Structure 1
Amino acid sequence: MTVQPIRYFGDPVLRTPADPVTTFDKELRRLVRDLTETMQEAGGAGLAAPQLGVGLRVFTFDIDDVVGHLVNPVLEFPDDEEQDGQEGCLSLPGLYYDTKRRQNVIARGFHESGDPVQIVGAGLMSRCIQHETDHLDGVIFIDRLDNTGRKQALKDIRRAEWYDPTNTRVKVSPHVTGPLGLGL
């Protein structure tokens, strides 16, 4: 197995925008395999390369028995429909918060071989794609919470057994927030 340790909230790599993948080679295939096996071992729905300490724009997903990955994703939203529901993160283990996301997404990118890929997602798949793409931009899902929600999340993080107070940077979402607190 190639299960790797997952980086927790506070690790600077989680706040650093990832670089585009430029070489589709054996190393990229190994990274995709490591991401997939680590995600599945941890019971996650998705995992982005920065969560393994790798600053590249690639993530894996496992939603409703659909397992895959996307390299250098670019997202489009075909409509303004929204969803609100529980969201968690393998980098903030055990913590879940209601998070607003777009209901539908079209994600374009590449397969590990360099072939173009398009994923049309709704519901949980859309949430996962947005969440993992945020990781590639240095955004953690609690950044998308309103002020009250973010304050509660930070309190909960400080109480978590995995929390390391010497290694934490908090960031407010760089995205414009609307009346519903959407960071889209």
Structure 2
Amino acid sequence: MPLLLTIITDPNPVLRKKSRKLDPKKLKTRQIQELCEDMVLTMLKKDGVGLAAPQIGKNIRVITVNTKDGAICMINPEITKRSWLKEWGAEGCLSIPGVFGQVRRHKKVDYSYIDGSGKTIKMSAAGLLARVLQHEIDHLDGILFTDKARDIIRN
């Protein structure tokens, strides 16, 4: 049964470390499956649209994203192509509660990741999904949205 995880908040140093890739040979372990299930539950219960492993204290390259088709766990996600066009949009973060700001992101991205069965998936995203992917992958590189934001509002 999935567990609700504790989300760490800024300025915890884990949020500033670059996360390591997972060995594809070890992806089918029960431990990774449970981590994905726990992260999805936590993201949904906290009303998030995405969650990265560093936000739960693990510096590994795993994210969950809530899409229109349901929640997905992505292992070793990478953005492989970015559109030239960028747009400003509002962002917040579960690890920086009560803070919001405008962040300029690529409108479209191509990306790849490994799913829970070890299969490599390649897709394209635009709009909110593209924004969420960029935000969550930034977490894996130790970057917070406030590093890029303007017009920051603190509630």
TM-score (structure 1 length as normaliser): 0.77
- Corresponding residue for 1:123? 127
Aligned counterpart, 2:36: 32
Larger radius of gyration, structure 1 or 2? 1
Paired-residue identity, %: 32
Query: Where do 4+ consecutive residues of structure 1 move more than 2 Å?
Result: 63-66, 76-79
* Aligned match of 2:74: 70
Partner of 2:19: 18
Determine which of 38, 52, 76 is the counterpart of 2:56: 52
1:8 and 2:9 aligned: yes
Structure 1, unaligned runs of 5 or more: 161-184
Distance 2:93 2:69 in 1: 19
- Give CA-to-partner distance per residue, 1:115-146, whole Å, 9 cap, x none: 11123110000000000000000110111135
Q: Give the 5 Å matches for 1:69-88.
A: 69-88=73-92
The structure that is strand-richer by fraction is 2
Aligned counterpart, 1:92? 96
In structure 2, the residue corresponding to 1:86 is in which secondary structure? strand
**What is the CA–CA distance in structure 1 between the aligned matches of 2:69 and 2:100, rounded to whole Å?**
22
Aligned CA RMSD, in angstroms, stands at 1.5
Q: Distance in 2 between matches of 1:78 and 1:58?
A: 20
Structure 2 residue ranges without an equivalent (≥5):
none
Question: Secondary structure, in 3 states, of the residue corresponding to 2:96?
Answer: coil
Distance in 2 (alpha carbons) for counterparts of 1:101 and 1:57: 20
Q: Give the number of equivalent residue pairs.
A: 151
Separation in 1, partners of 2:132, 2:18? 18
- Amino acid in the other structure paired with 1:62: N
Shift of 1:53: 0.4
What amino acid does structure 1 have at the position aligned with 2:9? Y
